[in-house]
Structure 1
Amino acid sequence: MPSQTTSSIFVEKKKLSKPPLELHYLGDRVLRQPAKRITKVDDEVRQLARQMLQTMYSEDGIGLAAPQVGVHKQLIVIDIHLDEPKTPPLVLINPSITRQSSKTCVIQEGCLSIPGVFLDVTRPEEVEVSYKDEMGRPQKLVANDLLARVILHEMDHLNGVMFVDRVDNALALNQELSKNGFSVQAVKPVA
């Protein structure tokens, strides 16, 4: 974990009856547009990160990318420690994968933008990511297991890719999407 020296992005880990931002769902074109790099890390970016965290906690999520709330900026918030109120969340601005392991693993994923759908996805077990923190300072992080998966999942959102685009089992994919009211036509498989 990187050292988070500020509490500028700390928000209470609780559900709000009215989250500040609105989630977009599979089928919405806004989720397929690539996000733009953030040129200046300022109070506006920090406020967006705060609102994204409040929205994520309200929806019981562990990761949220700005495009999921209709904002085309390269900003991700992650918190895999929902039950630890003192553990700060991770804020990644303009994240970039610098290395990923060749060893992969298959784990079931879900997404706040595709509620109710959980399917197996193969991803690298470990990644190294460089990014800017909420103060604009360059950071590097080596993540594995769940954290690596969440980073890769959220970074996909920055490129207009959704986890269902990476599902190999077409039958399970069709069944899960149909069962939850989503169109299979909204899936755009990645090569």
Structure 2
Amino acid sequence: MAVLPILRWPDPRLSQACAPAEPGPALEALASDMLATMYHAEGRGLAAPQVGRMVRLFVMDTLWKEAPAAPQVFVNPQILWMAEARVEGPEGCLSIPGARPLVARAPEIRLRWTSLFGAEQEAHLTGIEAICAQHEIDHLDGIVTLDRLSPAARDEALREMET
């Protein structure tokens, strides 16, 4: 496993939609490297475009800081349903270090994805898992946290961003 460099905003790749990922050894190696990178950067999730790979893949482990590591890998994820309600909370991003703007997200979603070995998966995610998955899927669609903010909140987040 290798720790990969993480792209920082405003790298143009962070604003591009990703192509479907193809399961296989190369994707397995990328997922392994992404997990190593996420843990090294002390993140809870990481999407492939954040390391310059433009495929629909993200990894997450939302509770590893409070509990034993439980890494998850999502290939070609798709949100099937999301709650109408929204909760607003501070949201960090490894590509926008230092900024933690308030972002409104659905507190629960139904997610479908493929495993690294091609098996279709589906789960109901709630709380931090649902919020993290939405954040990472945004990356796969070329959306960064800043795109979800008002102009004033965006300016504030950019001031908070570590240079």
Q: TM-score range by the shorter chain?
A: over 0.9
Counterparts of 1:21-170 in structure 2, within 5 Å, are 21-39=4-22, 41-83=23-65, 84-85=67-68, 87-168=69-150, 170=151
5+ residue gaps, structure 2:
none
* Distance in structure 2 (CA, Å) of the matches to 1:121 and 1:105: 8
Q: TM-score, normalised by structure 2?
A: 0.93
Structure 1 residues 66-75 or 129-138, which shifts more?
Answer: 129-138
Matched, 1:174 2:155: yes
Identity %: 33
TM-score normalised per structure 1 = 0.80
CA distance in 1, matches of 2:18, 2:153: 29
Structure number with bigger Rg: 1
TM-aligned CA deviation for residue 27 of structure 1: 0.7
Q: CA RMSD in A?
A: 1.6
Please give the alpha-carbon distance, in whole angstroms, between the structure 2 residues aligned to 1:133 and 1:179.
36
The list of structure 1 runs, each at least 4 consecutive aligned residues, that deviate by more than 4 angstroms after superposition, is none
Q: C-alpha offsets along residues 84-132 of structure 1, whole Å, 9 cap, x if unaligned?
A: 33x4311000000111111111111010000000010111111001000
**What is the CA distance between 1:181 and its match in structure 2?**
5.7
- Structure 1 stretches lacking a partner, 5+ long: 1-10, 12-18, 183-191
The CA deviation at 1:175 is 2.5
C-alpha spacing 1:179/1:130, structure 2 compared with 1 (3 Å): closer
Question: What is the CA–CA distance in structure 1 between the aligned matches of 2:29 and 2:87, rounded to whole Å?
Answer: 35
Which amino acid is 2:152 matched to?
A: L
Distance apart, 1:179 and its partner CA:
4.0
Q: What are the superposed Cα offsets for residues 48-68 of structure 1, whole Å, 9 maximum, x if unpaired?
A: 000000000010000000000
CA–CA separation in structure 2 for the residues paired with 1:53 and 1:159: 20
Is the Cα–Cα contact under 8 Å of residues 146 and 157 in structure 2 kept in the other structure? no
What is the rounded CA distance, in whole Å, between the counterparts of 1:166 and 1:37 in structure 2? 24
Q: Distance in 2 between matches of 1:165 and 1:26?
A: 11
For residues 100 and 178 of structure 1, what CA distance do their matches in structure 2 show? 32
Secondary structure at the aligned position of 2:133 is classed as helix
